[in-house]
Structures are given as structure tokens and as C-alpha cells.
Chains A and B, each alone.
Chain A
């Protein structure tokens, strides 16, 4: 596609449920990032995939969070046993050869 695509755009779930957020990066971009943004706050780094290298998971806040990237393209961020503090916008970005990041519109997660 022309840009980074994320789905769902909005997700409302109950505390304790698992959620999956999907990211389709720009074709040919080898690096992919996940960030979390709470209302009025900055972008909190979660995880970074670069080619075939092991992902940098240093930003994942707890072991309830995991992510994978299949075939070097689509990525899924999974949050298990969601908590209310997980409510935020989850942003995915892929990186061009120039170093510029292209962001998707985000998945807004609300945990009731």
C-alpha cells in the first residue's frame, strides 16, 4: 500500500482480555517500530525490528506485551490480560532508507 496501515483503528475491550494490533508497513521498508502514546504525552518506545536481526524489546513495559513480525513485513503487537493503564494509542512506523519514519494512524485501545 501507499502508507503504513494499522488495524483496528479503535478497540474497546474489557480488563483481562487479550488484544492483537496489526501493522502493515510500507513495502520494502526493513525496519519497523511500535510506540505507545497516552493522551497529551510523548511517544514511548516499545519494540524495534530491523531486518533479520533479533528485535530490540527493551521498551516493552511487562511480559504481557509481545510482538512478532512475520516474513519481514506484517507485525502484530499482542497485549495479554489487558489492564486499564494499557489504554493508549499504539503507533506503528516503518523506516525508509533515508532514515525517515513513516507512521500509521494508530490503534486507539480503551480498556474498561
Chain B
């Protein structure tokens, strides 16, 4: 089967740094993605890691270790608008369907 594990909730203060971890057990793996979803909204793409290492996009970075079946999303200089749910997702064979984790609800406090 396929499973992704991520914390259900994380709380941090404005200006801080937060890391959201994701571990996965899948039969095959093409890459790890991260999506953000605000309450009542559509999920939006944040980042993708197909190879080991760190990808940086502005205040957000994402890391992947394929040997550890582990990745994380790092959010720096947190802002109130970053309060949302964050989902890791894995593309798996055959065909490349995308399987999502249960999501991490991030609350940013003033």
C-alpha cells in the first residue's frame, strides 16, 4: 500500500522558522511535492523534489532524502497569511498518480 505521514498540527509565531516533516512508504517513487490549502480554498502548488537535496523558492524550501523516504518543507520568516494546511504528496507508479498525506495544519500566532 501507500502511506504518507506528517504531523497533524504545528503552531509557530510570526517571524519564526517552521519545519513540516513527511515520511512515506510507497511501492515506487517519482518525486515529492508540497501543496498549500487555505480554509475553503483550492490546494496550490508550492514545490517539487525529484532528486535528493534542497529546493528553495523564496521563503519556502523543500528537502528530500530518497534513501530515508523522508522530506520536509521549511517555511522562514513566517507571516500570518502562512496559516493554512500543508500537504506532502508522492507521485507513484504506474502512471504517476499523486497520493497525498493527511495534511499539517499550521497556525501562525502574532
Question: Which residues of A are in contact with B by a Cβ distance under 8 Å?
Answer: 31, 33, 35, 41-45, 48, 50, 53, 56, 58-59, 91, 93, 98-106
Contacts and interface: CB of A to CB of B under 8 A. Distances in A.
Nearest to B43: A103
**Could you say which of B35, B41, B45, B87 has the most chain A C-beta atoms within 10 Å of its C-beta?**
B45
A58 B95 CA distance: 12
Contacts of A100: 33, 45, 48
Contacts of A103: 42-44
Interface residues of B, number: 22
A42 B100 CA distance: 7
B109 interface: no
Query: DSSP class of B's interface residues: helix, strand, loop or mixed?
Result: strand
B42 A105 contact: yes
Interface of B: 31, 33, 35, 41-45, 48, 87, 89, 91, 94-103
Those 9 A-B pairs whose CB atoms lie nearest each other, nearest first? A42-B102, A103-B42, A43-B100, A48-B97, A100-B45, A42-B103, A103-B43, A105-B42, A42-B100
B64 to A, nearest CB: 14
